[in-house]
Amino acid sequence: MNPFKFILSTVIVLLGFCSCEKESGKQESTALKSEMPEIKRLFGSQTKTLSNGLQIVVVEEHSVPRVSMSVLYKVGAADDPAHIMGVSHMLEHLFFYGSSKYPDFTRAVGKLGGVAEAYTDYDCTVFNIDCPVEKLGVAFAMEADRMANFCLKDDQVFEREKKVIHEERLTRVENSMHGLLHEFIQNAISPQHPYGKLVIGQPHTLLAISKDDVMAHYKKWYKPHNAVLIVVGDVKAEGVFGEAERAFGGIPSEDASASSLERVRVKNSMTENVHQKIQCTWANIESARVVLCYNTPHFKKDGKRKCFALLLGLRALLEPSCDFYTYFEDKKFISNLTFFCGFAAFDPELLRIQVDLPKTITPKVFLKEFFAKIEQILKNGVKPEDFAREKKLYLINVAYKETDGHRKICDCFTCLARGDTVEGVEASCEDLLSVTEEQANAALKEFLGKKPRALVKMSPESER
Ligand SMILES: [Zn+2]
């Protein structure tokens, strides 16, 4: 028996827009610039594309004698046919059991002294191996084998993984406040777009997926020209290109000239001046959560610099050491506050500000204070010292790649599946460095100055 009980009320209000000031001219923080290293290209990566269309990206990083590799397929849950939503994620699971040479892929990688993992998101499916550097050639051969020869012979494996995924959904969605709320929000704000469903699929779409569906999905998308091989570690790029050519070069691609398959996405039907209020109650939780969803710029339409201006503005507002956060913390109005900025997805997403409230504070009380404080900040701007500090901290996090490790650098290149380029990734630091306080404040005004597209409250009981 599912204990979950909710009231969902959607209030749609049509509203006008607030005016916003134009971005002012460039006033770079020279103090900050002088403290930051001169970074022309962030990772100094080298890239090459094989004749079958497989793109290879190599970052030489010699701190430890290990290597991380990722095979990135430019397909994710948002490309799943609606009636079998979840098929990308199911293929990801089965991809560990579909090779006759390596029937248990994870174990075979373990024997190399390595670790194999994978994940699926809306826009990509990623397979990772971390291993000793001398085993890279074997790891390539293994990845190439499953890219070329995946097959699903064993019905038992198929049925078992289907069950595993059902269990995963129960744990991550049905029995999780975070998962349930995420599913509601996605459904409400993207009713037509596939981002409106969860990557894992829904119980009825999972049931509908057949072995043939999984094989068809693999045959359509898992092609060398729809993949990127990312290698970061104690290697030489030329050596990696040679090894990769030997392992992957023989895999045929029907149309190696196409850089990617066409990804047909439904446009969202929700107009931008529709605002929703969603209220859920669930007796299983102890205190309330509030999520505010706002429009964001999108990197393909608005350019990355505008996206970074908003990102740095949000950090100067919402990071724990900033004035805004401390104000709510000192008043004991929040237990936790995080934000997610969705401007780097393949299709536009929304910015979410997620706040967990202490038991003593209701969403109504919190929101009154939140909007008043936001209005004040948008008028006066963020504290200059908050902006300077957060910009510096963020740049250091992004720029000092050694502290982040090989795996994190691989992850930085997964945006190639969302329409970004190697040079775009390499220019990230310069783009961030160029953002001024004025631009950050202008971006905050433009995007937080409007009513949220969705205001979501989940509480243990309905508000009186
Ligand atoms: Zn899974």
Contact (CB, 8 A) for 73 and 96:
no
Ligand 1 mean position, distance from CA 178 (Å): 17
Please indicate, yes or no, if residue 29 is contained in any of the structural domains: yes
Strands 115-120 vs 125-132: parallel, antiparallel or unpaired:
antiparallel
Distance between CA atoms of residues 312 and 352, nearest Å: 15
Ligand 1 mean position, distance from CA 93 (Å): 6
- Structural domains counted in the chain: 2
**Do residues 152 and 274 share a domain?**
no
Termini Cα distance of the chain: 28
**Do residues 24 and 52 share a domain?**
no
Q: Residue 287 is part of which domain span?
A: 11-40+267-459
Please indicate, yes or no, if residue 442 is contained in any of the structural domains: yes
**Do residues 194 and 240 share a domain?**
yes
**Do residues 339 and 236 share a domain?**
no
Ligand 1 mean position, distance from CA 219 (Å): 20
The tokens of 78 are what? 């948002």
**Do residues 129 and 214 share a domain?**
yes
Please indicate, yes or no, if residue 261 is contained in any of the structural domains: no
Ligand 1 mean position, distance from CA 124 (Å): 14
Domain boundary, last residue among 215, 248, 281 = 248
Ligand 1 mean position, distance from CA 171 (Å): 11
Q: In terms of C-beta density within 10 A (0-12 exposed, 13-18 middle, 19 or more buried), how is residue 301 classed?
A: exposed
**Do residues 283 and 188 share a domain?**
no
Ligand 1 mean position, distance from CA 193 (Å): 22
Ligand 1 mean position, distance from CA 87 (Å): 11
**Do residues 194 and 321 share a domain?**
no
The candidate with the shortest Cα–Cα distance to 200, out of 181, 215, 179, is: 179
Secondary structure letter of residue 79 according to DSSP: G
Ligand 1 mean position, distance from CA 209 (Å): 15
Ligand 1 mean position, distance from CA 53 (Å): 28
For the chain, 464 residues long, give each residue's pLDDT as a single digit of tens: 233 222 222 222 222 222 233 333 334 444 444 455 555 688 899 999 999 999 999 999 898 889 999 999 999 999 999 999 999 999 999 999 988 899 999 999 999 999 999 999 999 999 999 999 999 999 999 999 999 999 998 899 999 999 999 999 999 998 888 888 888 888 888 888 899 899 999 999 999 999 999 999 999 999 999 999 999 999 999 999 999 999 999 999 876 555 557 888 887 766 777 889 998 888 888 899 999 999 999 998 999 999 999 999 999 999 999 999 999 999 999 999 999 988 889 998 899 999 999 999 999 999 999 999 999 999 999 999 999 999 999 888 776 655 468 888 899 899 999 999 999 999 888 888 899 999 999 999 999 999 999 999 988 876 65
Residues 6+ apart with CB under 8 A from 193: 78, 265, 266, 267, 268, 347
CB atoms within 10 A of CB 167: 10
Please indicate, yes or no, if residue 66 is contained in any of the structural domains: yes
Sheet holding 227-233, edge to edge: 46-49, 55-60, 227-233, 66-73, 125-132, 115-120
Global pTM value: 0.86
**Do residues 192 and 296 share a domain?**
no
How many helices and strands, by DSSP H and E, does the chain display? 18, 12
Burial 334-348 (b: 16+ CB within 10 A, else e): beebebebbbbbbbb
**Do residues 271 and 388 share a domain?**
yes
Q: Which residue has the tokens 């929304």?
A: 350
Question: Could you give the 3-state DSSP secondary structure of residue 270?
Answer: coil
Distance between CA atoms of residues 336 and 62, nearest Å: 38
Please indicate, yes or no, if residue 61 is contained in any of the structural domains: yes
The tokens of 50 are what? 């094989």
The candidate with the shortest Cα–Cα distance to 49, out of 228, 199, 216, is: 228
Amino acid of residue 108: A
Please indicate, yes or no, if residue 4 is contained in any of the structural domains: no
Q: CATH number of the domain that 64 lies in? A: 3.30.830.10
**Do residues 64 and 15 share a domain?**
no
Ligand 1 mean position, distance from CA 31 (Å): 46
**Do residues 233 and 276 share a domain?**
no
**Do residues 32 and 81 share a domain?**
no
Please indicate, yes or no, if residue 254 is contained in any of the structural domains: no
Please indicate, yes or no, if residue 424 is contained in any of the structural domains: yes
